[in-house]
Amino acid sequence: MALRTTPEVGGMGHSIKRKEDPRFIRGRGTYVDDVQLPGMLYLDIVRSPHAHAKIIKIDTAKAMAVPGVLAVITGQDLAKYNLHWMPTLMSDTQMVLPVEKVMYQAQEVAGVLATSRYAAADGAAAVQVEYEPLPVVIDPKKALEPGAPVLRTDKKDKKDNHIWHWEWGDRAATDRAFSEAAVTVKEDIYLPRIHVASIETCGCVAHFDKVLDKLTVWMTTQAPHAIRTVFALVAGHVGLAEHKIRIISPDIGGGFGGKVPVYPGYVIAVAASVLTGKPVKWIEDRMENLQADSFARDYHITAELAAKKDGTLTALRIKTLADHGYTDAAANPSKFPAGLFHVCTGSYDLKAAHVEVDGVYTNKPPGGIAYRCSFRVTEAVHTIERMVDLMAHQLGVDPAEFRMKNFVKPEQFPYKSALGWEYDSGNYGAALTKAMDMIGYADLRREQAEKRKRGQLMGIGISSFTEIVGAGPSKHFDILGLKMFDSCEIRIHPTGKAIARFGTKSQGQGHETTYAQILAEELGIPAQDIQVEEGDTDTAPYGLGTYASRSTPVAGAAAAVAARKVRDKARKIAAYLLEAAEDDLVWEPGKFSVKGAPNKSKTIQDIAFAAYTNHPQGMEAGLEAVSYYDPPNLTYPFGSYICVVDVDSGTGEVKVRRFVAIDDCGNIINPMIVQGQVHGGLTMGLAPALFEEISYDEIGNIRGGSFIDYLLPTAMETPKWETGHTVTPSPHHPLGAKGVGESATVGAPAAIANAVVDALWHLGVRHIDIPITPAKVWKLLREKGVTE
C-alpha cells in the first residue's frame, strides 16, 4: 500500500495543505497524533492481565498521587451515565469499561486522565486492581460443549456461548448432489486470528467545546459519518445530538478494516472531554493495538467438495465455527452475520452449495474485522481454492487444467451463483492463461518433476479467486440500518476550479488522485484544478466510508454521476451562451461546441463563469451537483495468481521463489495506484500464509502480542511480485471499473498454501493450515519419513 499519494504516483499529490492549519503544530502534521490543542489532556488505559476475572476492587489512591494525574475513570463512573456498555456494529453489546468482570486479556479496565502523556502512563501503572480469576474459554469448540462456563453473564437469558446460527443455500439439493457424487473431498481448514498491524495505531483527540456546545473528534476512522451517527445514538441521552458532533478523520496510516469499529478508548476520551470541557488525546501504543483490537479471521471451517467422475464439480458443503471473542463486534452488513462468506463457490460453476456458520463467544478480544477484504471473502476464497486444489490432486489432474474445466465461462455472465450472487462479468480462463504464460507453467512443471526425482521439494500453487466488492446495493446492504450507498458532492467555482467532497475516506489508497482523475475525465477540468476532500463530517456529504474495496465501485461511481449532472446543467448554460439548441451541442472533454461549427464553442471554464455571472433567467445560479450512489449490484473483480515455492527439507522453511499475479478490476483509473495496491496486498497475503498468527494459551494469554512474536514480512522475506492485468469491464458501473484494493490480500494466501501442499503431496501431505511456518513443515516432513 502506498501510504500517501505523491506527485510521482498520480500528479495530484496531497491536496489538503494541513501544514497551514494552526491545529497542527508539526510541519508534516496530518495524523491524529499530530493534533495539538491548548490545554489538552492525555488518556492512558489500565488493561487486564486476566482473560476472565471478576473485578473485586479498583484502588486509585496511588494513581491520583502521581503529579499531573487528574482523574481515574472506571466503569462505575461511566455507569452513572449509562455509558459503560455500547452497541457493536453487529447489534451485540461491548463494554466500554467493566463494572463486574473482564472478558479478555488486555481489556480496558480504567482510564487515567493527566496533563501529560507521561503522567497518564505513570498513573495507569499505579492503579491497583484486585481480580478473582474465572474459568477461561479459549477454544470455540469447547465453548459450545455442554457444561462450558457461560461467558456473557450480562445477558440474563443466555445459557450458552452460542451467538447465532446462519445458513445459506439449498441444503437438500446439496446433500443430494453429494450422495450422487463419484468423488468427494473433505478438509478441516483453520484460518487463524490475525491482526491488521497498520503502521498507525488507533487514537483520537476529543474536544467538547462547552461554549459552542459542540464535540469535535479527530479520530482514526474509516467511516466518519457512520461514527457520528453511532455517537449520537449512544450518547444522545447525555446531550450529544448529531448536529453537535463533528468527526474529522485526517490522514490515516493504514486502516484495513481495523479502523471501522468503535473501540472503548474513543468513547472514554469523548466522555472525559465532555466531563472536563478540555480536549483529550488517546493514542494506543503498539502492544495495546496488537493485543486489544483490530483482529480478523478465526474461522474453523469444515469443507466438502463433490465432483463427477470426469472432474466436473457439482456441489460444495461448508460448516464453520466463527470465533468472535467475547462480543460480536464484526463490521459486517446487518443481513449477513458471516459477511460475504457465501461467495464461497468462487470462480467455479457449482450447481449446488450450502453453507452454515455458527458464531461463538470465547475469552478473546472482539474479532471479525474485514481485514483488507470484503467481509469474509478471504475466508471464502481460501476455502474454495484449497478445496479445488485438493480435488484436482485427488483426481490426478493438473490444477490449472482442472480450474479451466470448472470455471464459470465468459458467456455465462451475468452469472447467478448457487448461493444467489449475480456475478457482473468475468473471464477467468483469460486471467489464468496469462498467468501461466507469464510464469512459464509447463516448464515449471517439468522442472518440478525432475527435482522430485532428486528428492528436492518444489511446489506450484494456483489461486483463481473471485472477489465481491462495492457494498452495496442498499436493498441488501446496511450497517446498523444505515444503507450502504456512497456520495460525491462537486462544486465548480466561477473561475473553473472545483472542489469535490466524498463520503469515503482514503487510508493511503490515493483517492485524492484517482477521484480527481475521474472528475477530470468527466468534466474536462484538469485534475490539478480539482481539490478532493474526505473525512470531515461537517463538510463532506454523508457516506458509509472506505473498507471492503467499496470506494471505486460506489463513491467512484458517485463522482461520475455527479459530474454528469454538472455536465447536464453546463449543456443548458452553453446552449444559452451559444444561442443554440441543447441537442445541437457536442461534448468533448472540456467544451461544448455547436454541431458542424466547431469554432462556436464554450469551455467548461467559460460555462462555470457564466453560471455565476450570466446564467439564463429562470435557471438557478451556480454549477454544482451531488450524487448519493446506490449501486445496482456489487462488482466482482478476479484474478489468477501462480506461486512457486522451494521447501527446505532440512529446516522446513518455505521460500517463495516466484509469484505472478494477474488481476482484473475492470477499467483501471490509475495503473500505478492499482499496481501499488496489488503489491501491498500481495505482501499482506504473504504475511498470514507464512508468518502471522495471534493465538492464546489455555488461560487466555496472548501469543503474538508484540512485533517480536507477531512476524510481519520484511523486505528480506518478500519476493519480487510479478504483476499484470486483464480488463473485463463491469457492465453496470458508470466507468466500467471494479474495486481492487483488497484483491491481492484475498487471493494470495491460497496460492502460497497450494504451492506448499503441491510440493509435499507425493509424501502424503493433503493440507497445512496457514501460517505455514518452518516448524509445522519440519514436523510434517519428519512424520512422513523425510530425514533431511
Q: Give the per-residue contact string, 222-261, with ligand CDP (x = CB under 6 A; - = no).
A: ----------------------------------------
Q: Which is nearer to ligand CDP, 360 or 678 (CB)?
A: 678
Give catalytic status of residue 620 as yes or no. Answer: no
The residue length of the chain stands at 788
Q: Which is nearer to ligand CDP, 105 or 427 (CB)?
A: 427
User: Is residue 531 close enough to count as binding ligand CDP by CB under 6 A?
Assistant: no
Spatial distance between the Cα atoms of 438 and 568, rounded to a whole number of angstroms = 45
Give the 3-state DSSP-derived string for 290-342, with helices as H, strands as E and coil as C: HHHCCEEEEEEEEEEEEECCCCCEEEEEEEEEEECCCCCCCCCCCCCCCCCHH
Q: Are 531 and 513 in contact (CB under 8 A)?
A: no
User: Is residue 740 close enough to count as binding ligand CDP by CB under 6 A?
Assistant: yes
Residue span binding ligand CDP (CB under 6 A) among the ranges 390-398, 453-461, 548-556, 718-726:
548-556
CB of 745 to ligand CDP, least distance (A): 11
Place of cell 492549519: 21
Cell of 347: 470462480
User: Is residue 675 close enough to count as binding ligand CDP by CB under 6 A?
Assistant: no
CB of 86 to ligand CDP, least distance (A): 26
CB of 252 to ligand CDP, least distance (A): 11
Q: Which is nearer to ligand CDP, 328 or 663 (CB)?
A: 663
Cβ-Cβ contacts under 8 Å for 696 (sequence gap 6 or more): 51, 105, 138, 363, 364, 702, 703
Q: Which of 230, 668, 684, 748 binds ligand CDP (CB under 6 A)?
A: 668
Cell of 750: 491460497
Q: Give the per-residue contact string, 648-667, with ligand CDP (x = CB under 6 A; - = no).
A: -----------------xxx
Neighbours of 198 (CB within 10 A): 23
Residue span binding ligand CDP (CB under 6 A) among the ranges 138-146, 391-399, 424-432, 507-515:
507-515
User: Is residue 670 close enough to count as binding ligand CDP by CB under 6 A?
Assistant: yes
Residue span binding ligand CDP (CB under 6 A) among the ranges 90-98, 300-308, 668-676, 764-772:
668-676
Within 13 Å, how many C-alpha atoms sit on residue 717's CB side? Answer: 18
Residue of 222, 291, 509, 675 with catalytic role = 222
Q: Are 3 and 506 in contact (CB under 8 A)?
A: no
User: Is residue 532 close enough to count as binding ligand CDP by CB under 6 A?
Assistant: no
User: Is residue 324 close enough to count as binding ligand CDP by CB under 6 A?
Assistant: no
Number of residues in contact with ligand CDP under rule CB under 6 A: 24
Spatial distance between the Cα atoms of 276 and 279, rounded to a whole number of angstroms = 8
Place of cell 478441516: 188
Q: Which of 198, 546, 593, 683 binds ligand CDP (CB under 6 A)?
A: 546
End-to-end CA distance of the chain: 39
Cβ-Cβ contacts under 8 Å for 728 (sequence gap 6 or more): 425, 426, 427, 430, 638, 664, 666
By C-alpha distance, which of 426, 373, 353, 293 is closest to 749?
A: 373
CB of 3 to ligand CDP, least distance (A): 13
User: Is residue 726 close enough to count as binding ligand CDP by CB under 6 A?
Assistant: no
User: Is residue 739 close enough to count as binding ligand CDP by CB under 6 A?
Assistant: yes
- State the DSSP H helix or E strand holding residue 588, giving kind and residue range, or none if neither: strand 585-588
CB of 533 to ligand CDP, least distance (A): 15
Please report which residue ranges of 55-105 form alpha helices under DSSP H: 61-64, 75-79
Spatial distance between the Cα atoms of 638 and 410, rounded to a whole number of angstroms = 13
Q: Which is nearer to ligand CDP, 273 or 745 (CB)?
A: 745
- Rounded alpha-carbon distances, angstroms, from residue 457 to 477, 652, 760, 765: 46, 10, 7, 12
User: Is residue 732 close enough to count as binding ligand CDP by CB under 6 A?
Assistant: no
CB of 528 to ligand CDP, least distance (A): 17
By C-alpha distance, which of 455, 460, 463 is closest to 781?
A: 455
Q: Which of 381, 673, 746, 751 binds ligand CDP (CB under 6 A)?
A: 673
Q: Which of 201, 417, 552, 745 binds ligand CDP (CB under 6 A)?
A: 552
Give catalytic status of residue 742 as yes or no. Answer: yes
Spatial distance between the Cα atoms of 141 and 298, rounded to a whole number of angstroms = 12
> Which residue type occupies 424?
D
Q: Is 666 helix (H, G, I), strand (E, B) or coil?
A: strand
By C-alpha distance, which of 393, 64, 165, 120 is closest to 280?
A: 120
Q: Which of 136, 313, 388, 669 binds ligand CDP (CB under 6 A)?
A: 669
Give catalytic status of residue 448 as yes or no. Answer: no
Cell of 758: 503441491
Q: Which is nearer to ligand CDP, 550 or 732 (CB)?
A: 550
CB of 524 to ligand CDP, least distance (A): 19
Neighbours of 141 (CB within 10 A): 11
Q: Give the per-residue contact string, 683-722, with ligand CDP (x = CB under 6 A; - = no).
A: ----------------------------------------
By C-alpha distance, which of 707, 711, 675, 708 is closest to 692?
A: 711
Within 13 Å, how many C-alpha atoms sit on residue 668's CB side? Answer: 17
Spatial distance between the Cα atoms of 130 and 23, rounded to a whole number of angstroms = 41
CB of 665 to ligand CDP, least distance (A): 4
Q: Which is nearer to ligand CDP, 365 or 637 (CB)?
A: 637
Give catalytic status of residue 373 as yes or no. Answer: yes
User: Is residue 50 close enough to count as binding ligand CDP by CB under 6 A?
Assistant: no
Q: Which of 83, 247, 391, 737 binds ligand CDP (CB under 6 A)?
A: 737
- How do 624-629 and 638-647 pair as beta strands? unpaired
User: Is residue 551 close enough to count as binding ligand CDP by CB under 6 A?
Assistant: yes
Q: Which is nearer to ligand CDP, 292 or 737 (CB)?
A: 737
- How do 183-195 and 295-307 pair as beta strands? antiparallel
Q: Which is nearer to ligand CDP, 29 or 731 (CB)?
A: 731
Q: Which of 75, 224, 261, 510 binds ligand CDP (CB under 6 A)?
A: 510
Region of 539 on the Ramachandran plot (φ > 0 left; ψ -120 to 50 alpha; else beta):
alpha
Q: Which is nearer to ligand CDP, 168 or 256 (CB)?
A: 256
- State the DSSP H helix or E strand holding residue 774, giving kind and residue range, or none if neither: helix 774-783
User: Is residue 431 close enough to count as binding ligand CDP by CB under 6 A?
Assistant: no
User: Is residue 511 close enough to count as binding ligand CDP by CB under 6 A?
Assistant: yes
Residue of 297, 317, 372, 550 with catalytic role = 372
Residues designated catalytic: 222, 372-373, 742
Q: Which residues bind ligand CDP (CB under 6 A)?
A: 509-511, 514, 546, 549-552, 556, 665-670, 673-674, 677, 737-741
